[in-house]
Amino acid sequence: MATQLENILNKLSHQKLASHGSLDTFRYIAYDLASTSAQLLFLSRYMLMQGVAITQENSLLDNTARIEGWLARFPMYDWVGGRTSVMSAVGLLPAALQGIDIREMLAGAAIMDEATRTTSLKNNPAALLAMCWYWASDGVGSKDMVILPYKDSLLLFSRYLQQLVMESLGKEFDLDGNTVNQGLTVYGNKGSTDQHAYIQQLREGVHNFFATFIEVLRDRPPGHDWELEPGVTCGDYLFGMLQGTRSALYANGRESISVTIEEVTPRSVGAIIALYERAVGLYASLVNINAYHQPGVEAGKKAAAEVLALQKRVLSVLNEASCKDPVEPLTLDEIADRCHAPEEIEMIYKIIAHMSANDRVLIAEGSCGSPRSVKVYLGECNVDDMYA
């Protein structure tokens, strides 16, 4: 994260920079670390604060921004999930900073929102899309969803849909408490260049997917598309690859969906995001699950906190042994026993390997190929036991 930020900052003038932090109540450990790293790097480089906060009122981030006098603070409401926050300040602020017309994005989303409220199935694009997913996957997620956008500017669309769909629909229980293990696996890349990574298997390998082609009708602004041969432009080749790939899959009995937009504009992007958000909600209704919570994510965060708590216990045990004269190196078994966590010996090994590789105060002697031969101690004793 820090390396990526530094590479970006090296290319930019600090007069034009603004940093923004956002997401839920700033409680996610990963985001906390990333945002703190960003802020420290920003301050160490330019010694100024041009931060903008997007968070819930009175959260840690909100209070930090208020006390330190950040440029602005925007609200984030507890009913807005991260994966559906594109049309909130979380997504709109970064878009605006890039010069994207966010009013047009919102207008496109509003038009799609209205279109997807009709009870007429054949006239409701989100309902049609959700029904296609249900039919293609037998309503139980039996097939993966492969997203193939044929436009460079939509390169990251498959990754966006990966979170939107999988975090929303990957659920163990339905609304009645039955174990159902629902979900749709999503992956993809832009056509036509990057699809070669897996198109061979899609056509001839295991039939465990359905494809979605994102087609953009307008290639380039008039007069800006080059002819590769008389009467054939670069856009024509891309069109040919999309239709050819679609036909090749169909000829081998592979299902596909086509979503077509006129051109990539803020309005059309807002509309297609709203389309998929609504389709996810409708599909969840079809399979009787809650698309708007994420207990699996919460479990992962809880487990991460437990790992960090175990790391503190390991350091405290090592500190106590390292403060002896002479120093008492400990084996993994001894560390696990003194931590009262013999069942966590593998995790303790992982913790020690990580800290040793990052030049922390920890010193590990022995062979990585024989973990039980490893003996560990701290390079310095902390008499106050800051790790306790």
Q: What are the pLDDT digits (tens) for 146-202?
A: 999 999 999 999 999 999 999 999 999 999 999 999 999 999 999 888 888 889 999
Domain boundary among 287, 316, 347: 287
Residue 84 forms part of a structural domain? no
Mean of pLDDT values over 352-359: 88
* Nearest alpha carbon to residue 169 among 271, 88, 84: 84
- Catalytic (active-site) positions: 167, 196, 301
26: left (phi over 0), alpha (psi -120 to 50) or beta: left
Residue with tokens 């979503």: 259
236 with 371, same domain?
A: no
Query: Are 136 and 235 within one domain?
Result: yes
Domain that holds residue 255: 99-287
Residues 173 and 276 in one domain: yes
Give me the mean pLDDT over the 114-142 stretch: 97
Question: In whole angstroms, how large is the CA radius of gyration of the chain?
Answer: 26
Count helices and strands in the chain by DSSP H and E runs: 13, 12
Residue ending a domain, choose from 223, 256, 287:
287
Task: Give yes or no for a cis peptide into 192 (omega within 30° of 0).
Answer: yes
- pLDDT (tens digit, 9 = 90+) per residue, 303-318? 999 999 999 999 999 9
User: Tell me, what's the pLDDT at 27?
Assistant: 41
Distance between CA 139 and CA 180 in Å, rounded?
A: 11
Torsion over CA of 194, 198, 203 and 208, rounded to 10 degrees? -130
CATH classification of the domain holding 181: 3.40.50.10490
* pTM for this entry: 0.82
Q: Note the pLDDT tens digit of each residue in 190-223.
A: 988 888 888 999 999 999 999 999 999 998 877 7
> Over 90: is that where the pLDDT of 382 sits?
no
In a domain, 83, yes or no: no
pLDDT-derived band at 25 (thresholds 50, 70, 90) equals very low
Residue 387 is assigned to a structural domain of this protein: no
Which two tokens mark 366? 């022995």
Q: What are the pLDDT digits (tens) for 214-251?
A: 999 998 877 777 888 888 888 898 999 999 999 999 99
Domain total in the chain = 3
The pLDDT, as a whole number, for residue 40 is 52
Least confident of 47-56, 302-311, 342-351, 369-378: 47-56
117: pLDDT strictly greater than 70: yes
* Whole-number average pLDDT of the chain: 87
Neighbour tally for 177: CB within 10 Å: 7
